[in-house]
Amino acid sequence: MNGERLDVDVLVVGGGMSGMTAAARCSQQGMRVLVVEKSPATGGSAKLAEGFVWTAPDMEALIREDPEIDADLGQALVETLPGELGWLRALGVEVRTGLTGILGFGAGSQIDVHAYMARCEGIIESNSGFVVTGVAPVELLQDRKRVTGARVRTPEGDIDVEAENVLLATGGFQADPKLRKQHIHPNADRLLLRSNPFSVGDGLRLALQAGAALSDNMSGFYGCLVPHPLDRELSQTDFTALAQYHSERGILVNRAGVRFCDESLGDRVSAGDVLRQPGSTAVLLADEEVRRRYVLKPFIPGMDQGLDKFEFAGRIGAKFAEALTWSDLARQITDWGFDGQAMLSTVGEYNDQVASGGPFAPARSRHAMALATAPFFALEVQSAITMTYGGIRVDRRGRVLTSASDPVPGLYAIGFDSGGLYHRGYAGGLARAIVTAVLAVEDIASRRVTTAGG
Ligand SMILES: Cc1cc2nc3c(=O)[nH]c(=O)nc-3n(C[C@H](O)[C@H](O)[C@H](O)COP(=O)(O)OP(=O)(O)OC[C@H]3O[C@@H](n4cnc5c(N)ncnc54)[C@H](O)[C@@H]3O)c2cc1C
């Protein structure tokens, strides 16, 4: 990539799940592709993932998970993914098929993400494309409104890359505390980062400069509850070991000692609710039954085998307490700055509501079981962020849209650079990355055929 100008059919900005998928698909269709990846290696958050490529089996299940989901983008997801699972298999990467019940409702496969990335890179390079790491665009090139490429900063200087189409695939803005604070919540700069550190909203900034609009739901995010306090940044080995996925089986109380959310919607949703509480922490309460049946078991078969996540949290210095009575536990959480007396009433009321079959206040839509088997457990938790749900406004083909909903010609956003699909619920990240990539490439290919055919 020496010289001052380069011409390609497609410039892909970001070499993670969506970017490498799009680049490989374009290459297979004879397009000349350049992938520019800011970090020293391709893979993005996908390389940190367990590799579950899954989503809801149909729209009904998707709407149950996320009643406010963008119906058009959601339909694209559930309709497109099943065919793409076949494509993954055809690439010859290891695929564990036929998984069901993911997060209680999803279906899909598990892939070897590292092998997948290597296979995509092989396809790109064997079709005269390039994957260049350690470089990033500083601005998009535009001819009137059309995006015609990007100025890419390299260690040897800036290069203008002319491209018929530019795909933004930088993975969202979760790694930028300022953007989080601006779009998610005033306390969101405190979120711990549970993703690759390079997704700092570069795609969003480039798109806005080119005339794009923001998507709906800029404040939504996929998160996890993790122990508090922690004396370190989250490392890759912490990502699963510290995630309290089982929080949906216990109850959460805030500093006032009261419940504030429907915990059973899932840890991924409660992470947003905890962020919005005073101090942005909460106490997760559980009993021996919850510990034995859920804390000690992998959340999805194959994950975090055999780890006692409560014991681990206590061992690394988080506020964790175990007691034979709720009163004992109340004294301990009072020392942490939580209202222990109010917590005692909350647990009593919750157990009464379980016994009488509700109603619950706040709601408890699933997993209502009394917390009545000693010993009892309390763990202070805080929120970590994995992905932002808001981003660049797009249509179902990934075309970047202005505030008047007109496409910005030549510009696409895929993966978690494209926003507006999920609101509170979640039905897959890798799947979303693959599907948005595939649909954008289909759109690019159909325009090339139309143009070539006159
Ligand atoms: C610990 C963990 C476990 C997960 N497990 C699962 C799972 O099992 N199933 C699932 O569905 N999802 C999972 N996910 C989520 C999944 O990894 C993401 O949803 C998916 O990778 C998003 O794809 P993407 O292409 O949008 O972003 P990424 O895959 O993160 O790729 C973005 C890429 O863009 C690069 N980049 C950023 N800025 C620039 C720039 N200016 N120029 C060039 N390059 C840039 C980044 O370095 C990165 O390589 C997990 C995530 C994490 C962190």
**51 CB within 6 A, ligand 1:** yes
Task: Please tell me the residue having the least CA distance from ligand 1 atom 50.
Answer: 49
Task: With beta carbons less than 8 A apart as the criterion, state whether 2 and 156 touch.
Answer: yes
Give residue 52 CA to ligand 1 midpoint distance, Å.
13
Q: 17-28 and 430-452 helices cross at what angle (nearest 10)?
A: 30
Q: Please indicate whether residue 196, judged by its CB atom, sits closer than 6 Å to ligand 1.
A: yes
Centre of ligand 1 to C-alpha 405, Å, is 27
The token duo for 203 is 């795609």
Please report, as a single letter, which amino acid is at residue 30.
Answer: G
Which atom of ligand 1 sits closest to the CA of residue 206?
41
Ligand 1 close to Cβ of residue 391 (< 6 A): no
What is the per-residue pLDDT for 450? 65
Counting beta carbons within 10 angstroms of the beta carbon of residue 39, is it exposed (0 to 12), middle (13 to 18) or buried (19 or more)? middle
Q: Indicate the top mutation candidate among 430, 432, 438 to test ligand 1's pocket, ranked by most ligand atoms within 8 A of CB.
A: 430
The candidate with the shortest Cα–Cα distance to 88, out of 55, 129, 117, 56, is 117
Does the beta carbon of 386 sit less than 6 angstroms from any atom of ligand 1? yes
Q: Which residues contact 55 (CB under 8 A, 6 or more apart)?
A: 62, 77, 78, 81, 106, 107, 108, 427, 428, 431, 432
Number of alpha carbons in the 13 Å side-chain half-sphere of residue 251: 30
Which atom, in ligand 1's list, is nearest to the CA of 170?
A: 34
45 CA → ligand 1 middle, Å: 3
Torsion 296-302-303-305 (CA) sign: positive
285 C-alpha to ligand 1 centroid (Å): 32
Q: What is the DSSP string of 410-435?
A: EEEE-GGGB--S-SS----SHHHHHH
Q: β-strands 320-323, 376-388: how paired?
A: antiparallel
Burial of 233 (0-12, 13-18, 19+ CB in 10 A): exposed
State the pLDDT at residue 86: 87
Q: Is 273 in the pocket of ligand 1 (CB under 6 A)?
A: no
Q: Is the CB of 195 under 6 A from ligand 1?
A: yes
Is there an atom of ligand 1 within 6 Å of 110 CB?
A: no
207 lines ligand 1 (CB under 6 A): no
Tell me what pLDDT residue 451 has: 66
Q: Give the contacts of 104 (CB within 8 A, at least 6 positions apart).
A: none
Answer whether 294 contacts ligand 1 (Cβ < 6 A). Answer: no
C-alpha 240/C-alpha 162 separation (Å) is 41
Read off the pTM: 0.96
User: Which is the closest atom of ligand 1 to the Cα of 416?
Assistant: 26
Task: Among 13, 170, 204, 237, say which to mutate for ligand 1: greatest number of ligand atoms within 8 Å of CB.
Answer: 170
Here the tokens at position 209 are: 């400069």
pLDDT along the chain (454 residues), means of 10: 78 98 97 98 95 96 96 97 90 90 93 96 96 98 96 95 98 98 98 97 98 97 97 87 95 98 97 98 98 88 77 94 98 98 98 96 95 98 98 98 98 98 96 98 89 57
Ligand 1 pocket member 429 (CB < 6 A): yes
- CB-ligand 1 contact for 136 (6 Å cutoff): yes
Could you tell me if the CB of 431 is within 6 A of ligand 1?
yes
Identify the pLDDT of residue 348. Answer: 98
